[in-house]
Amino acid sequence: MVLSGIWRRNENSKEPLPDNLSVSHDKAVPPNAVQELCASVGWSRREPDLIVRALENSLAVVSIWDKDELVGFARATGDKVFNATVWDMVVRPDYQRLGVGRLVMCELLKELDEYSIPLVTLYADPGTDGFYKRFGFLADPSGVRGMFRERNEY
Protein backbone atom coordinates (compact mmCIF):
# COMPACT_ATOMS: atom_id res chain seq x y z
CA MET A 1 0.00 0.00 0.00
CA VAL A 2 1.43 3.39 -0.99
CA LEU A 3 -0.88 5.80 0.74
CA SER A 4 -0.06 8.03 3.61
CA GLY A 5 -2.07 9.97 6.13
CA ILE A 6 -0.85 13.11 4.40
CA TRP A 7 -2.62 12.32 1.15
CA ARG A 8 -5.98 14.03 1.36
CA ARG A 9 -8.27 14.69 -1.53
CA ASN A 10 -11.11 17.15 -1.52
CA GLU A 11 -13.86 17.85 -4.01
CA ASN A 12 -11.79 20.38 -5.97
CA SER A 13 -8.49 18.62 -5.69
CA LYS A 14 -6.17 18.77 -8.66
CA GLU A 15 -3.79 16.48 -6.81
CA PRO A 16 -2.98 13.35 -8.79
CA LEU A 17 -3.92 10.02 -7.30
CA PRO A 18 -1.10 7.95 -5.85
CA ASP A 19 0.32 5.84 -8.71
CA ASN A 20 -0.94 2.59 -7.27
CA LEU A 21 -4.60 3.70 -7.08
CA SER A 22 -7.11 3.78 -9.89
CA VAL A 23 -10.76 4.82 -10.08
CA SER A 24 -13.40 2.95 -12.06
CA HIS A 25 -17.03 3.78 -12.88
CA ASP A 26 -17.57 0.40 -14.54
CA LYS A 27 -20.57 -1.52 -13.18
CA ALA A 28 -18.92 -4.84 -13.97
CA VAL A 29 -17.02 -5.12 -10.70
CA PRO A 30 -16.20 -8.79 -10.05
CA PRO A 31 -18.68 -9.97 -7.41
CA ASN A 32 -16.05 -11.93 -5.50
CA ALA A 33 -14.05 -8.71 -5.07
CA VAL A 34 -17.15 -6.94 -3.70
CA GLN A 35 -17.86 -9.88 -1.41
CA GLU A 36 -14.34 -9.88 -0.08
CA LEU A 37 -14.32 -6.12 0.53
CA CYS A 38 -17.67 -6.26 2.33
CA ALA A 39 -16.50 -9.22 4.43
CA SER A 40 -13.40 -7.21 5.44
CA VAL A 41 -15.66 -4.79 7.35
CA GLY A 42 -17.86 -7.57 8.75
CA TRP A 43 -20.83 -7.25 6.39
CA SER A 44 -22.80 -10.38 5.69
CA ARG A 45 -22.29 -12.40 2.54
CA ARG A 46 -24.42 -11.82 -0.55
CA GLU A 47 -24.83 -14.23 -3.43
CA PRO A 48 -22.50 -13.36 -6.35
CA ASP A 49 -25.27 -13.45 -8.98
CA LEU A 50 -27.37 -11.07 -6.88
CA ILE A 51 -24.40 -8.72 -6.56
CA VAL A 52 -23.99 -8.72 -10.35
CA ARG A 53 -27.69 -7.92 -10.85
CA ALA A 54 -27.65 -5.19 -8.20
CA LEU A 55 -24.64 -3.51 -9.85
CA GLU A 56 -26.15 -3.77 -13.33
CA ASN A 57 -29.36 -2.16 -12.02
CA SER A 58 -27.52 0.62 -10.19
CA LEU A 59 -27.38 4.14 -11.52
CA ALA A 60 -23.72 4.64 -10.62
CA VAL A 61 -20.97 2.38 -9.32
CA VAL A 62 -17.55 3.57 -8.16
CA SER A 63 -14.67 1.28 -7.31
CA ILE A 64 -11.15 2.15 -6.19
CA TRP A 65 -8.39 -0.28 -6.91
CA ASP A 66 -4.89 -0.68 -5.55
CA LYS A 67 -3.52 -2.50 -8.59
CA ASP A 68 -5.85 -5.52 -8.72
CA GLU A 69 -7.19 -5.25 -5.17
CA LEU A 70 -10.56 -3.60 -4.57
CA VAL A 71 -10.04 -1.16 -1.68
CA GLY A 72 -13.05 1.19 -1.90
CA PHE A 73 -16.55 0.94 -3.28
CA ALA A 74 -19.98 2.56 -3.33
CA ARG A 75 -22.98 2.58 -5.60
CA ALA A 76 -26.16 4.57 -6.03
CA THR A 77 -29.61 3.70 -7.26
CA GLY A 78 -31.99 6.27 -8.65
CA ASP A 79 -34.43 7.52 -11.27
CA LYS A 80 -32.00 9.90 -13.06
CA VAL A 81 -34.43 12.77 -12.46
CA PHE A 82 -35.58 13.37 -8.87
CA ASN A 83 -33.80 11.00 -6.48
CA ALA A 84 -30.76 8.87 -5.90
CA THR A 85 -29.70 6.81 -2.90
CA VAL A 86 -26.17 5.81 -1.95
CA TRP A 87 -25.54 2.20 -0.92
CA ASP A 88 -22.64 0.00 0.18
CA MET A 89 -20.07 2.73 0.88
CA VAL A 90 -17.09 0.75 2.09
CA VAL A 91 -13.31 1.06 2.40
CA ARG A 92 -10.98 -1.82 3.27
CA PRO A 93 -9.94 -1.39 6.94
CA ASP A 94 -6.21 -0.93 6.26
CA TYR A 95 -7.06 1.85 3.75
CA GLN A 96 -9.48 3.73 5.99
CA ARG A 97 -8.80 7.31 7.19
CA LEU A 98 -6.48 7.90 4.23
CA GLY A 99 -8.87 9.68 1.90
CA VAL A 100 -10.18 6.68 -0.06
CA GLY A 101 -13.76 7.10 1.23
CA ARG A 102 -13.68 10.76 0.24
CA LEU A 103 -12.45 9.81 -3.22
CA VAL A 104 -15.30 7.30 -3.61
CA MET A 105 -17.96 9.80 -2.49
CA CYS A 106 -16.56 12.61 -4.67
CA GLU A 107 -16.55 10.35 -7.73
CA LEU A 108 -20.06 9.05 -7.01
CA LEU A 109 -21.56 12.51 -6.37
CA LYS A 110 -19.81 13.85 -9.48
CA GLU A 111 -21.52 11.15 -11.57
CA LEU A 112 -24.93 11.85 -9.96
CA ASP A 113 -24.43 15.57 -10.62
CA GLU A 114 -24.35 14.79 -14.34
CA TYR A 115 -28.10 14.10 -14.04
CA SER A 116 -28.66 17.22 -11.88
CA ILE A 117 -30.51 15.04 -9.36
CA PRO A 118 -31.73 17.42 -6.66
CA LEU A 119 -31.98 14.95 -3.75
CA VAL A 120 -29.45 12.30 -2.75
CA THR A 121 -30.22 10.20 0.32
CA LEU A 122 -28.43 7.45 2.22
CA TYR A 123 -28.60 5.37 5.38
CA ALA A 124 -25.65 6.07 7.67
CA ASP A 125 -24.53 3.16 9.83
CA PRO A 126 -23.91 4.07 13.48
CA GLY A 127 -20.71 6.10 13.82
CA THR A 128 -20.48 7.10 10.16
CA ASP A 129 -22.67 10.21 10.04
CA GLY A 130 -19.62 12.45 10.64
CA PHE A 131 -18.13 11.09 7.42
CA TYR A 132 -21.28 11.83 5.38
CA LYS A 133 -21.75 15.29 6.90
CA ARG A 134 -18.49 16.28 5.19
CA PHE A 135 -20.30 15.93 1.87
CA GLY A 136 -23.29 18.04 2.90
CA PHE A 137 -25.60 15.25 4.11
CA LEU A 138 -27.90 16.20 6.97
CA ALA A 139 -29.65 13.92 9.45
CA ASP A 140 -33.46 14.22 9.53
CA PRO A 141 -33.74 17.60 7.75
CA SER A 142 -36.98 19.35 8.73
CA GLY A 143 -37.86 16.38 10.96
CA VAL A 144 -38.02 13.95 8.03
CA ARG A 145 -37.47 10.39 9.30
CA GLY A 146 -36.14 7.41 7.37
CA MET A 147 -38.52 4.45 7.62
CA PHE A 148 -37.80 0.81 6.81
CA ARG A 149 -39.76 -2.23 5.83
CA GLU A 150 -37.60 -5.32 5.65
CA ARG A 151 -38.18 -8.73 4.10
CA ASN A 152 -35.84 -11.53 5.06
CA GLU A 153 -35.85 -13.69 1.98
CA TYR A 154 -32.17 -13.49 1.05
- Residues found near ligand COA in the complex (CB under 6 A): 8, 41, 89-91, 96-102, 124-125, 127-128, 130-131, 134
| 115 classed as catalytic | no
Assign residue 111 a region (left: φ > 0; alpha: ψ between -120 and 50; beta: otherwise): alpha
C-beta of 147: minimal distance to ligand COA in Å?
17
In whole angstroms, give the CA distance from residue 118 to residue 112. Answer: 9
Q: Which C-beta is closer to ligand COA: that of 59 or that of 74?
A: 74
Q: Which C-beta is closer to ligand COA: that of 11 or that of 81?
A: 11
Catalytic residue among 95, 115, 123, 132: 132
Inter-residue contact 72 to 99 (CB < 8 Å): no
Closest-CA residue to 102 (of 23, 2, 20, 19): 23
Q: Which C-beta is closer to ligand COA: that of 62 or that of 100?
A: 100
Q: Return the active site residues.
A: 132
